[in-house]
Amino acid sequence: MELLLDIGNSRSKACLHNSGNLTEIQLEDISAEQWLSVNAVYCSSVAADSRVSALRERVPLAIPFIQIHSEAQAFGITNSYMQPHLLGVDRWLALVAAAELYPNLDLLVVDAGTALTIDWLNAAGLHQGGWILAGQKLQQEAVLSKTAKVFSAELETEQLSPATDTATALYQGAIAALVGAIRQAYAIKAAQRIILTGGDALLLQKYLSDLPVELESRLIFQGLARYIQPN
């Protein structure tokens, strides 16, 4: 059994991998008996090194701790960055997992978290570049930090429409920006599948029902799992 760690900008997530099965778990809930069954820890981090170090201290010293980084090429995926290590490892792992789940297809891989990332991956496994936008909460915080009389609220609606109060206007404006970016990316180069993951994936999915969207909530963990048996 392996422990997979996804250390994001705003929170950390853990998952146990056992013979291909993934079970999400709180790190503090791992029992002493479970630790005895963990063969290795595989870690993905886009956070500060100090957060990785803090989590690493909670792992028994006898267990190998393997931190994954973006590569120029692996698992049939070719990184488009001139300096491959500068591609966020979360984006890299999402590409690796998406290609495994949906092989030989042109894909648009979207991770809706603190930031919204959009990456193009063609059927041959070539990463064709991507975009990074502020996520919906970050967008709202940016407006709130610069305005005195604007306040926010999370008011989910079934459709995007002109708002008649400030809180709804701010919330729907942020959602509209993200949905619009995904639609624009799809318009630039139509994909056979849009792979959607991240904390806001379910929220955005309902505004994209006319597009070929596949929801994959554990995409980063699935990418990490590829490194357990890389051949």
Catalytic residues: 90
Whole-number mean pLDDT of the chain? Answer: 91
pLDDT winner (highest mean) among 24-33, 49-58, 157-166, 173-182: 173-182
Task: Assign 157 a pLDDT band (cuts: 50, 70, 90).
Answer: low
Give the model's pLDDT for residue 151.
55
Q: How far is CA 27 from CA 7, 33, 45, 78, 100, in A?
A: 12, 14, 15, 33, 27
Give the model's pLDDT for residue 139.
85
Give the model's pLDDT for residue 116.
96
Give the model's pLDDT for residue 86.
96
What is the pTM assigned to this prediction?
Answer: 0.91
- With residue 195 as reference, give the H or E element that holds it: strand 193-197
User: In this model, does residue 223 exceed pLDDT 90?
Assistant: yes
Token pair 């502020």: residue: 134
> What is the rounded distance in angstroms from the CA atom of residue 47 to the CA atom of residue 174?
24
Domain ranges of the chain: 2-67, 73-225
Q: Could you check whether 2-67 and 73-225 share the same CATH topology? A: yes
Task: Assign 159 a pLDDT band (cuts: 50, 70, 90).
Answer: confident
Contact assessment for residue 117 and residue 132, using Cβ atoms and an 8 Å cutoff: yes
> What is the rounded distance in angstroms from the CA atom of residue 99 to the CA atom of residue 109?
10
CATH homologous superfamily for the domain 73-225 = ATPase, nucleotide binding domain (3.30.420.40)
Task: Assign 29 a pLDDT band (cuts: 50, 70, 90).
Answer: confident
The alpha carbon of residue 105 and the mean position of all alpha carbons in its chain are separated, in whole angstroms, by: 20
- With residue 79 as reference, give the H or E element that holds it: none
User: In this model, does residue 48 exceed pLDDT 80?
Assistant: yes
More confident residue, 70 or 159: 70
Give the model's pLDDT for residue 230.
63
Task: Assign 32 a pLDDT band (cuts: 50, 70, 90).
Answer: confident
Class of CATH domain 2-67? alpha beta
